[in-house]
């Protein structure tokens, strides 16, 4: 299911954003990689498997095993909100020399965050009050696919919440049996759960997405 969600995003984002300027997001620019990342349980368990494979195949280096990097990052960021995370500027544990070392398995949140101005991103992460021009199609498509994924999980009787990525990975990596428990219908990542938005916030989000969708329908693409 997670593979299908990722494939849907990658297969459609090109057409949805073809009319826009070139993105500033390239390898070597981790400017946004200090933001809080949320993910669904399937994304977290998939990434936990990916991390275990890397740690098993690669000998210990100065970087240390990925699982240890995640643990250290979680200690620094656990319980912090978005604004606090930006102020802390704690880098993502997977950003190494400007590159994302888990890029093939990165969550939808990372795939759906794209900017047209690298300098604005750097200034924003440095605490300056600047407006970062982000790609609306990336945000909208990420939201639509993530909502569909969560709806499918809920229909299957599985926990369909959003979780803070670092803390969720620490839980999944520290106790592999949590994946089986989640498949059995338990919310095994509950300590990392992100608070759900209020009804008003949900309505505002839905109206925003509807308006964005209507605008896309009128695009030549």
Distance between CA 86 and CA 91 in Å, rounded? 10
Residue 193, SS3?
strand
| pLDDT tens digits along 18-48 | 888 787 777 767 777 778 899 999 999 999 9
For position 208, what pLDDT does the model report?
A: 45
Evaluate whether 116 touches 21 at the Cβ level (below 8 Å): yes
Strand ranges inside the chain, DSSP E: 38-39, 95-96, 99-100, 163-164
Structural domain of residue 187, as residue ranges?
2-217
Residue 115, SS3?
strand
pLDDT band of residue 83 (cuts 50, 70, 90) is: confident
For position 204, what pLDDT does the model report?
A: 41
Number of domain units in the chain: 1
Say yes or no to pLDDT of 15 above 80: yes
Evaluate whether 80 touches 187 at the Cβ level (below 8 Å): no
pLDDT band of residue 199 (cuts 50, 70, 90) is: very low
Sequence-distant (6+) residues with CB within 8 A of 176 are 48
Say yes or no to pLDDT of 163 above 70: yes
For the segment 144-169, the average pLDDT, to the nearest whole number, is 96
Nearest CA-CA partner of 167 in 194, 196, 192: 192
- The Cα-based distances of 192 to 39, 165, 172 in angstroms read 10, 8, 11
For the segment 145-159, the average pLDDT, to the nearest whole number, is 96
């Amino acid at each position: 299911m997670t593979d299908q969600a990722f494939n849907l995003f990658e297969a459609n984002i090109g057409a949805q954003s073809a009319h826009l300027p070139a993105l500033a997001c390239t390898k070597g620019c981790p400017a946004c990689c200090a933001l809080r990342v949320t993910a669904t349980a399937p994304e977290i368990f998939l990434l936990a498997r990916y991390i275990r494979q890397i740690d098993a195949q690669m000998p210990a280096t100065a970087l240390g095993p990925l699982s240890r990097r995640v643990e250290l990052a979680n200690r620094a960021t656990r319980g912090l909100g978005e604004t606090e995370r930006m102020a802390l500027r704690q880098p993502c544990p997977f950003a190494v020399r400007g590159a994302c070392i888990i890029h093939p398995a990165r969550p939808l949140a990372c795939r759906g965050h794209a900017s047209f101005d690298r300098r604005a991103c750097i200034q924003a992460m440095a605490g300056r009050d600047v407006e970062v021009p982000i790609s609306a199609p990336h945000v909208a498509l990420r939201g639509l696919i993530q909502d569909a994924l969560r709806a499918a999980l809920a229909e299957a009787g599985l926990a369909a919440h959003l979780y803070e990525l670092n803390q969720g990975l620490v839980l999944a990596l520290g106790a592999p049996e949590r994946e089986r428990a989640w498949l059995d219908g338990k919310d095994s990542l509950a300590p990392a759960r992100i608070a759900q938005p209020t009804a008003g916030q949900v309505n505002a989000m839905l109206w925003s997405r509807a308006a964005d969708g209507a605008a896309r329908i009128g695009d030549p693409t």
